[in-house]
Amino acid sequence: MVRRVKETIQKEERQKEANEKNRQKSIKEEEKERRDTVLQSALGNENKGFALLQKMGYKTGQALGKTGKGIVEPIPLNIKTGRSGLGHEEQKKRKAEEKLENYRRKIHMKKQADEQAADQFRVRFKNKQEERKIEGDLRKSQKACQQLDSQKDINIPKEIWYWMESEPEEEKDEEKEEDEDEYKSSDLSASEKLQILTAYLRGEHFYCIWCGTAYEDSEDLSSNCPGDSSAAHD
């Protein structure tokens, strides 16, 4: 069985070689074979240029020039087989390099844009969390202020926003005359309100919302409370 397989393979190889020999070569292939044959053969005395060099003292294998520092091998022959004009390949190569450089630049710009977008998202997310925490601390401070003021029989808050609930509005036409303090309170941010209300609670009631403790006096507050901000209690 193995012998039959080998015979079959050998038969196919012989048939392939015969087909290659019988195949009619194209004009380009014949030209290439003739050119390679000529280029591989050395110049003889029948060549006029070579004969002139020999008369001037040149010997086979010797470098050109009076000092013998010139080239030894002939300048290689590069055959142009395509139909494009001279310089086309160089231009094609340059365009390919420019295209690759543009692609790399776009990838780099996209990467920078993605990183910048991610950084902006992280900053917005962090700011949003901080805003929510400040608003939560402000609500806690307002509730504590209302409760502590009530214990001292204070029925009206020092500022309208010191307490969670505002005074009921009368159902009648307003003359649009508001107090200057009301304008100022509406312009305050949640962070600014928290700072003001924290100072009031600490100064008036010796109370810290982050400690959750009403101290006996200012000395007790300054001695046992870490500070007047959330960061001081972390």
Residue keyed to tokens 């504590």: 144
Burial of residue 188 (number of CB atoms within 10 Å: 0-12, 13-18, 19+): middle
The mean pLDDT value for 110-114 works out to: 93
Rg (the chain; Cα; Å): 48
52 within domain boundaries: no
Read off φ and ψ for residue 85, nearest 5 degrees: -75, 170
209 within domain boundaries: yes
76 within domain boundaries: no
Number of domains within the chain: 1
Question: What is the pLDDT confidence band of residue 184, given thresholds at 50, 70 and 90?
Answer: very low
- How do residues 28-51 score in pLDDT, each as one tens digit? 777 788 887 877 777 777 888 888
Helix axes 190-204, 88-151, angle to 10 degrees: 30
- How do residues 117-157 score in pLDDT, each as one tens digit? 999 999 999 999 999 999 999 999 999 999 999 998 888 89
208 within domain boundaries: yes
148 within domain boundaries: no
Question: What is the pLDDT confidence band of residue 77, given thresholds at 50, 70 and 90?
Answer: confident
Domain boundaries, position 226: 156-164+189-233
201 within domain boundaries: yes
25 within domain boundaries: no
Rounded to the nearest 10 degrees, how much is the dihedral formed by the CA atoms of 177, 179, 183, 186? -100
Closest to 145 in 3D by CA, of 131, 132, 162, 128? 162
64 within domain boundaries: no
Separation of alpha carbons 233 and 205, rounded Å:
19
